[in-house]
Amino acid sequence: MTIWLFAYPLLGVFSGFFAGLLGIGGGAVMVPILAMLFTAQGFAHEQVMHLALGTSMATILFTSVASLRTHHQHGAVDWGVVARMTPGILVGTLAGAALARVIDTRSLAVMFTLFILANAAYMIADRKPPASHRLPGMPGLSTVGLGIGAVSSLVAIGGAALSVPYMTWCNVRMQRAIGTAAAIGFPIALGGSVGYVINGRLVPGLPEYSLGYIYLPALAGLVLAGMAMAPVGARFAHRVSVKSLKRVFAGVLVVLALKMLLGMTG
């Protein structure tokens, strides 16, 4: 047990920095590594992905706050967009967490990997949107929030992997899209965490110190390190271009997701 108490904070440092830098919540990093760590600890195979997803979602609840505070200080959060997307997000996250309960570990691993590969391809392509694209009004943003919330809860991400590409496609400035995505990460994590607790609370055979599908020792290590590093990443995002870092990060995500897939389906 002791060695894992060191592994979780190290993962928190890495994921927390990128949560602040790119507004991604850190779930894209945490899920595959947590799945590997839980497998190495001997957790039940059929529960590994669910625990990785639930623990990652709960971590985002804390790191999103640390990240959005720094982005807010730089005037990079569009709170109007956050308010219009939040109702749909909360409904979508609860639905996604419920759906995750009835999907087996192998299928979850495949879905997560395909999502990461598609997102990495988008980041690497860095395509420019037409100048006419703009954010829609309340009904449109609420509907977008519903879809983002459902997918984010299902694959345990903070939502920025969807909301940042969407907002930049609507010609929102990158730093403002990242800052707004960091704020959106909180309602996503709130709804998703509640869903993973509810849907895992009666599951037999979960590891000791689990709260539903949230493994508390991992959560503690991830949160302490992640909250310390998220503001560092957020400040860095306002000082440098993130284009090259996004491409490097996309490559890291692909490697981690594929390694996790091989471990879950091999």
Residues 94-112: pLDDT tens digits? 888 788 777 776 777 777 7
pLDDT value, residue 197: 92
The residue length of the chain stands at 266
What share of the chain has pLDDT > 90, as a percent?
11
- Res. 26: pLDDT tops 70: no
- Res. 73: pLDDT tops 70: yes
Range of the domain at 136: 2-265
Q: Distance between CA 260 and CA 266 in Å, rounded?
A: 10
Residue 156 pLDDT grade (very low, low, confident, very high; cuts 50, 70, 90): low
- Res. 242: pLDDT tops 70: no
Average pLDDT for 152-172: 77
Comparing CA positions, the residue from 169, 148, 184, 158 lying closest to residue 76 is 184
Residue 101 vs residues 22, 94, 173: alpha-carbon distances, Å: 29, 11, 37
Residue 206 vs residues 38, 97, 210, 211, 214: alpha-carbon distances, Å: 11, 17, 7, 9, 10
Report yes or no: 148 and 27 within 8 Å, Cβ to Cβ: no
Q: What domain count does the chain have? A: 1
What is the value of pTM for the model shown?
A: 0.74
